[in-house]
Amino acid sequence: MKILVCISKTPDTTAKIAFTENNTKFATDGVQWIINPYDEWYALVKAIELKEKDPSTVIHLITVGGADAEPIIRKALALGGDEAIRVNTDSSDSFTIASQIAAVAKEGGYDLVFTGKETIDYNGSAIGGMVAELLDLPYVSLATKFELNGTTATINREIEGGEEVAEAGLPLVISCQKGMAEQRIPNMKGIMGARTKPLKVVEPVQVEALTKIVSFELPPAKAGVKLVPADQPEELVRLLHEEAKLF
């Protein structure tokens, strides 16, 4: 079995957020970059678990980005990927990114394509569905559990107010979230081995971007908190009416 795991580089959640070029670009100076947690903790680790059950399984990693993404993909190799592919282009357009992944997936003949449910910087949740459409494959999103019996997969996913269980035959595309697997930490053997694992750089296919970033802005600063004594309910009502405009 061949599995393709999509890996994205994202800022650490502790990074200070700022923008440059008239608020059209994220300021990267001093930012610590990490593997997108949904890609690492759930998509990649689930692929590793499947390989532990079937050692003949091959795990390929793919990232779309410049050379500065290579330390991130190397860390993913240290966790358990067999080889990595970097598509040599930077883009914030979901269709462009999905098209690059789909082009590689078509050539690779993968049985499974795993993505995280979203990236923690853009929160778009768009890549998995687009990749599935471009490959004309079944797609199950927001997966919390995945079991494989031969070529038939059983997938649990969250829905409004409950859980849904779906079945699909391979090949297919899955987006993964919390519950799919447990977080792992690279060990020294994995870190050392990642240095010699193949990392292939491929040039992008030509795609016309469908979206572009016009501007970023930070959320408004939080307002101060007003404390109202418990014996003054009329003051609370006045504040809700006159200042909060709730009624």
pLDDT tens for each residue of 44-73: 999 999 999 999 999 999 999 999 999 999
Q: What pLDDT band is residue 11 in, cutting at 50, 70 and 90? A: very high
Q: Which amino acid belongs to residue 109?
A: G
Decide if pLDDT at 203 tops 90.
yes
| Range 95-124 average pLDDT | 96
Q: Which amino acid belongs to residue 236?
A: L
Decide if pLDDT at 87 tops 90.
yes
Q: What pLDDT band is residue 220 in, cutting at 50, 70 and 90? A: confident
Query: Which residue bears the tokens 């903790």?
Result: 41
Query: How many residues does this entry show for the chain?
Result: 247
Q: What pLDDT band is residue 169 in, cutting at 50, 70 and 90? A: very high
Average pLDDT score over the chain:
93
pLDDT tens-digit series, residues 126-157: 999 999 999 999 999 999 999 999 999 999 99
Decide if pLDDT at 247 tops 80.
no
pLDDT tens-digit series, residues 182-196: 888 877 778 888 888
CA dihedral (44, 48, 54, 55) in degrees, to 10, reads: 120
**Helix H or strand E segment including 156:** strand 152-159
> pTM, whole model, 2 decimals?
0.87
Decide if pLDDT at 101 tops 80.
yes
Q: If you write DSSP's letter for every residue of 118-148 in order, what string do you get?
A: --TTT----HHHHHHHHHT--EEEEEEEEEE
Where are the alpha helices (H) located in the chain, listed in sequence order? Answer: 37, 45-53, 70-79, 94-108, 127-135, 188-194, 233-242
Distance CA 13, CA 165 (A): 32
Q: Which of 127, 117, 131 is nearest to 93 (CA)?
A: 127
Distance CA 60, CA 44 (A): 10
Does domain 2-219 match CATH 3.40.50.620?
yes
What number of other Cβ atoms are within 10 A of residue 16's Cβ?
9
Distance CA 131, CA 154 (A): 20
Backbone angles phi and psi of 105, in degrees to 5: -65, -35
